[in-house]
Structure 1
Amino acid sequence: MYTVDLHAHTRFFHGRRALGDRFDPLGVRLLTEVAARRGLDGVATTNHDYYTPFDPAPDVATLPGIEITTDRGHVLVVGPDPPRATNPGALSPAEAVALAHDRDCAAIVAHPFRNSTVRELEDVPFDAIEVNGKHPRSQPLVEELAKERDLPLTGGSDAHYPFEVGRAYTVVEADRLTPESIVEAIRDGRVSARVSRSGFDSLLRRAYRAIHDRKGVIDALDRPTPGVGEPPGEDEESIEQ
């Protein structure tokens, strides 16, 4: 049994690739240090539209991954051989999943209720759906969606800053922790999502909710979603406590 954050980033800024390439080795070291303090066994580096191999950390497994920006939203690809780079918005979700499977990776619907309509595609063979650490109030809807699609749930913090690591994570039933075993466990349904309910994480999520509101981030919890049920009636604070 292992605990793994399946959605984390090695930088807190987007773009500026050359600067990011210089920062990423420091970023991944900070990610793994925080993951170790949180008691996690592994963390997947899922940077936006690129993958960089990193040297193994001493205490926490660093797992390969990429977050592909499709024309309908984000898809996490985790496994032994993720694509090195993708063009944002160039792939459809179906193409992203096919690319993942061709490279022996798992394809996961990322944050299905934030800035995404990927969840509406019923004929795309995803391997799992994510409970995202930035807004766990969506968890009831994610669980309902996963049940309807007969898909397992994974958890990921969506960390862009190291202190965010582990606010959501995945419990993996496996005898060893490797990229291949993660993919096998996801496809076999031997994974489950967990959300940290610590006071710090709850405060952090409320802060991000306020930031997203100011930025105008599209959150499907603010409106009904056809075929998936109505948004929960509780406010965010009541769900997170």
Structure 2
Amino acid sequence: MNFDFHTHGKLSKKVEFSLDYFKSMVKAAKENGLDGFALTEHFNTRNFFDVYNTLDEVYPYEQGYYLVDGVKVFPGMEVDIQEVGHILIVADRTTIREIRTLLDPFASKGNFIKFAQLFELVAPFEILIMGAHPYRKSTPLYNLDPVLLSKLDAFDLNGKDLYSMGIDANSQLVFQFAKSLNKPVVGGSDTHHQLQYGCIFNELERECNTVNDLKNVILSGAYTIHISEDLSEKVQNATEQKAIEKKIMEAATINKVSNV
């Protein structure tokens, strides 16, 4: 089972969720050989709940995932913490909604939840919780309290960072860091645009249907990370195209809101 642990269903946080855009993303994921992915949309994206409300209306939900044109889409979100890092959470759809509701007081910049407080908030739930792009300059995790970092299930080897920092340099940093905490590393494309799918993915040795299945595969090391030979081309093309489309879509969203 080929799987991506870090993806987005929207081009940017400022635009509305578009089913057509999401369908194009899933189509691209499938064309790039993925059998499933975690939909880790930003928790403070515009109208977060619209994402899962729309998926509920359109697609069947089986065990722990939406079945979208043959691709397993596991619910998730990416949470900002006060210390500036980003944390990925994957869980069943009810849990994601409950956690997001609890995070509502912490959704605006300047009011993000503290790292320790986040662990307290999610403690009652069955989740997969991972540290996103630990060496990204804008949102580093490596310098945070190792006691808290050790509570994470895994760390994200991120497609964007592999491109910006260099595959060898970023891989070495992330793997050494994770090893120091005795934690595994998983691959995540961090795609907001369909062109980025397949730049990095994980070949899971077992079929997964629930978040516990995913967690067990990670913790048992039953997977292999694959980095595409075309990673640089994929990320660069996606970044350039995203910049063009983002201006158009955000302008359309502003105009729509202004006319209401």
Q: 1:31/1:94 Cα in 2 relative to 1: closer, same or farther (>3 Å)?
A: farther
Q: 1:181 aligns to what?
A: 213
**Residues 60-71 of structure 1: matches in 2 within 5 Å?**
60-71=71-82
Partner of 1:30: 24
Structure 2 counterpart of 1:84, one-letter code: R
Aligned length: 203
The letter for the 1-side match of 2:22 is: V
What CA distance in whole angstroms lies between the structure 2 residues aligned with 1:171 and 1:90?
34
For residue 206 of structure 2, give the secondary structure of its aligned residue in structure 1.
coil
Is 1:12 equivalent to 2:36 in the alignment?
no
Q: Tell me the amino acid that sits aligned with residue 104 of structure 1.
A: E
Q: What letter is aligned with 1:96?
A: L
Structure 1 equivalent of residue 139 of structure 2: 116
Give the distance between the partners of 1:59 and 1:208, measured in 2 at CA. Answer: 24
Q: Retained in 1: the 8 A contact 2:6–2:188?
A: yes
Q: Secondary structure at the match of 1:159?
A: coil
Please state how far the C-alpha of 1:206 moved relative to its aligned partner. Answer: 5.1
Q: Please point out which of 173, 177, 202 is paired with 2:232.
A: 202
Does residue 153 of structure 2 align to residue 133 of structure 1? no
Residue type of the alignment partner of 1:79: A
| Partner of residue 213, structure 1 | none
TM-score by length of 1: 0.75
- Is 2:69 the counterpart of 1:58? yes
Tell which structure's C-alpha radius of gyration is larger: 2
Which one-letter code corresponds to 1:182 in the other structure? L
Q: Any conservation in 2 of the 1:101–1:107 contact (CA below 8 Å)?
A: no
Q: Residue 188 of structure 2 aligns with which residue?
A: 156
Secondary structure class of the residue paired with 2:178: helix
Deviation of 1:208 after TM superposition, in Å, equals 7.8
Larger mean Cα displacement after TM superposition, 74-83 or 143-152 = 74-83
- CA distance, structure 1, for counterparts of residue 41 and residue 13 of structure 2: 9
How far apart, CA to CA, are the structure 2 residues paired with 1:101 and 1:61? 26
**Do the aligned partners of residues 140 and 208 (structure 1) sit closer, same or farther apart at CA in structure 2, a change above 3 Å counting?**
farther
Over the aligned positions, Cα root-mean-square deviation in angstroms equals 2.5
Task: List alignment gaps of at least 5 residues for structure 1.
Answer: 211-241
- Which has the larger helix fraction? 2
The secondary structure found in structure 1 opposite 2:160 is coil
Q: CA deviation at 1:101?
A: 4.4
